Amino acid sequence: MITEEQVLQALKSVQEPVLKKSLIELQAVKELKIKENMVSLKLAIAQPGTAEQMQLQQEVVTAVKGAGAESVGLRFEKMADEDIQQYGGQATEQKKSLLEQTDRTAFIAVTSGKGGVGKSTVSVNLATSLARKGKKVGIIDADIYGFSVPDMMGIEERPKVVDQRIYPVNRFGVQVISMGFFVEDNSPIIWRGPMLGKMLNNFFSEVEWDDLDYLILDLPPGTGDVALDVHSMLPTSKEIIVTTPHATAAFVAARAGAMAIKTEHEILGVVENMAYFESQVSGEKEYVFGKGGGEKLAKELNSEVLAQIPLGQPEIEEENFAPSIYAEDHPIGKIYLEMAQKVINSVGK
């Protein structure tokens, strides 16, 4: 079992990102607990809740796991001002948050009542299709517990951090940011709601987005803390509700729609995913999950069905691997392009 001495020794090689000194030299470790080879740390740093913190937590987890820990839990607090000044720290200029640029950027949240309906697939293909239409597009993988956007888009690199700003990864003309970039070894996220909400806020304020026409947010399914945080952060957000044709899925999705209405968000429309299966041999459509769920949901929300997406799979290219992105000339890709045009016509950007 790992010992406190081993943890502290491992942290000697980890620098505080702003003050450029070892965490041990700065006496940044304010709490250290070990239970069944699981390490819990509380660290005081110069600028918590920033891009540097996300980079630091990767380094800490890697170092402590390398010393023998099975898992690492982290909490951060702000270092005392006098300590920051003692070690040569200076105040940094705050840049404008993307949340203050709603006149320039249209925020579109993609949500669902339950998981497994293809919400993230819709998100990444809508973002890609908008980019193909010549729009400047970003996507935030806000599905914190089930982040999948990087894998779906075939992204292997990570964002760069320069001068305390995160630069998103660009793929298919889409600027991408995801919690998956900041988690080691696909580890599960065990943070509570307030910390997750703070991290989401960092994605708006600490990321160096290029001028965006559209920002797509792939929200967690349901109406939990994270979805509620996003609703409160984005008073002008528009929403797309994803469901399957099954009546139960549509019934559950209505709750997500009701939340949007209560928070005065505009519902752009409903996407009925897995609407049918079309045989390549006969051309016949088989309604595997039933019929009518999308239309019923749209009627209930006083909205429209933006698209009915059939069951299908993109053609996988080894050289340009992206397992969930449909090509422009793919039949389903064409449906997404039509959907993107409807969004453009509705939003007017």
**Is the per-residue pLDDT at 11 higher than 60?**
yes
Q: Tell me which of 205 and 331 has the higher pLDDT.
A: 331
Angle made by CA atoms 149, 100, 119, in degrees to the nearest 5: 25
Alpha helices in 206-246 (DSSP H): 225-233
Please give the backbone phi and psi of residue 239, each rounded to the nearest 5 degrees, phi first: -130, 145
Residue 274 has pLDDT above 80, yes or no: yes
Beta strands in 100-237 (DSSP E): 106-112, 137-141, 160-162, 165-167, 169-171, 174-178, 214-218
Checking if the pLDDT of 136 tops 50, the result is yes
CATH number of 98-347: 3.40.50.300
What is the percent of the chain where pLDDT is above 90?
Answer: 40
pLDDT digits (tens, 9 = 90+) for 140-165: 988 766 788 999 999 988 888 877 78
Dump strand ranges (E) for the chain.
Answer: 29-35, 38-45, 71-78, 106-112, 137-141, 160-162, 165-167, 169-171, 174-178, 214-218, 238-243, 266-273, 277-278, 285-286, 305-309
Q: Among 172, 185, 159, which residue's Cα sits nearest to residue 66?
A: 185
CATH number 2.40.40.20 is the correct assignment for the domain at 4-86: no
Question: What is residue 91's predicted lDDT score, i.e. its pLDDT?
Answer: 47
- Taking only the tens place, the pLDDT of each residue in 293-319 is 889 888 888 899 999 999 988 887 777
pLDDT at position 309 is: 95
Q: Which pLDDT tens digit goes with each residue over 16-25?
A: 988 999 999 9
Are 147 and 180 in contact by the 8 Å Cβ rule? The answer is yes
Q: Quick one: pLDDT at residue 90?
A: 59
Residue 231 has a pLDDT of: 60
- Residue 8 — φ and ψ, nearest 5°? -65, -35
Q: Which residues lie below 8 Å from residue 27, measured CB to CB, with a gap of 6+? A: none
Strand order across the beta sheet in which 174-178 lies? 169-171, 174-178, 137-141, 214-218, 106-112, 238-243, 266-273, 305-309
Our measurement of the distance from residue 186's CA atom to the centroid of its chain's CA atoms, rounded to an integer in Å, reads: 14
- For residue 127, is pLDDT > 60? yes
Does 166 or 12 have the greater pLDDT score? 12
For the segment 204-223, the average pLDDT, to the nearest whole number, is 85
SS3 of residue 272 by DSSP: strand
Domain boundaries, the chain: 4-86, 98-347
What's the predicted TM-score (pTM) here? Answer: 0.71
pLDDT value, residue 300: 87
Q: Which tokens belong to 60?
A: 């800490």
Residue 195 has pLDDT above 90, yes or no: no
Q: How far is it, in rounded angstroms, from Cα 341 to Cα 336?
A: 9
Q: Mean pLDDT in the chain?
A: 84
237: pLDDT strictly greater than 90: no
Q: Do domains 4-86 and 98-347 have the same CATH topology?
A: no
